Chains A and B, each alone.
Chain A
Amino acid sequence: MKQVVDTKTNSGSTGEADECLFEYLHAEIVNYVLSLSLNTKEGKEDLSRLEWMGFSVGYKIIERLTREWSRFKDELDMIKFICTDFWCSLYHKQIDNLRTNHHGVYVLQDNAFRLLDKVGTSNSKQYLPESPRLLAFTCGLLRGSLANLGIVSTVTAETSTLPSCKFHVQVQRV
């Protein structure tokens, strides 16, 4: 898979939110959601708001991205699009590894996920327990994007070593 990402051109278009702006905003959103989660006084953090916000963003953004795109052949074609062009635009790199059992389960592995990249150096375990907070939004984003492409799914994330993570996409057949 080869892909040329041109970050230098097109800068004069409608506007450019610089990269770190999104990261800071994301951090604040995570903080906000956690602050509400503390009030529930349950042992587990409630990240559903994050996931939901991600969903609504994914749902909207995919519509704009694929507007001038030719029709996808099938489900795998859509997932491939997510792994390459979509991921490149949003997170500045492709998904490193895509696995599937051809029965609706896809595992997308990113070895240096952008939102985890600055949290820990390679193989650091220090912030591993907190990493789900930084992934919930993107899980929602994936789910929302797929939903607007016509794929109903559940998306979960898993990290074993920072900054790499795996997103599990389970397609729900109806």
Chain B
Amino acid sequence: MSRTGTKLEAKKVNSELFTLTYGALVAQLLKDYENVEEVNKQLDRMGYNMGIRLIEDFLARTGSGRCYDFRDTSEKIQTGFKIYLGITPTITNWSAAGDEFSLYFEANPLTEFVELPDHCLNLKYCNILTGILRGACEMVQMEVACWFVQDQLKNDTITELRVKFIKRLEDAIPAGED
């Protein structure tokens, strides 16, 4: 049985599988919780759990050592997006103290097939990303906070994720419940 011309692209399919699965999850969460804020929180929490696992894969794959400073961290986060989502966000808007920066996303594979209905204006669709960053950084003894400042799904021209360094964690804290 041979077909001519067409062939499925494994990478692309895999990416769509992820995008659609994530979409199904968000849809399910919206169904389960009436409260959009609660959905944002759940997504962040799930991202956190993913992040604390993802960092191991990242370190194993890139062989990168400790970050020298927060600028170094930002570049590694950028690399992470390249590896896992195939996108390279722009690092910009550094705060004067050098403890805050923004990631600009022009394209976001998570939102590839997404349009937000009107009653979901407060939904942070990609909130899983903030959780992933938080969880991953915590595993390398760094407490960060991140949040979305702009979102293309809400008619902003660009999606902006703000990352702020909070503090260096002194002792390795075992992965506890959030």
Contacts and interface: CB of A to CB of B under 8 A. Distances in A.
Q: Is the interface of A mostly helix, strand, loop or mixed?
A: helix
B61 to A, nearest CB: 9
Interface stretch (B62-70, B78-86, B156-164): B78-86
Given A22-B21, A31-B49, A52-B28, A16 B14 contact: yes
B10 A92 contact: yes
Interface stretch (B1-9, B115-123, B168-176): B1-9
Nearest to B1: A80
24 contacts: A9-B9, A10-B9, A13-B11, A14-B107, A15-B109, A17-B18, A17-B85, A20-B54, A24-B49, A24-B50, A27-B50, A28-B49, A28-B50, A53-B21, A53-B27, A54-B24, A60-B113, A65-B8, A65-B13, A68-B5, A70-B6, A88-B10, A89-B8, A90-B17
A74 interface: no
Contacts of A77: 1
B42 A11 contact: no
Contacts of B57: 20
A18 interface: yes
Q: Is the interface of B mostly helix, strand, loop or mixed?
A: helix
Interface string B19-37: 1111111011100100000
Contacts of A90: 13-14, 17
B72 interface: no
Interface in A18-59: 18-22, 24-29, 31-32, 36, 49, 52-54, 56-57
Contacts of B28: 49, 52-53
Q: How large is the interface on A (under 10, 10 to 19, 20 to 34, 35 or more residues)?
A: 35 or more
A18 B57 CA distance: 11
Contacts of A89: 8-10, 13-14
Nearest to A18: B84
B86 A57 contact: no
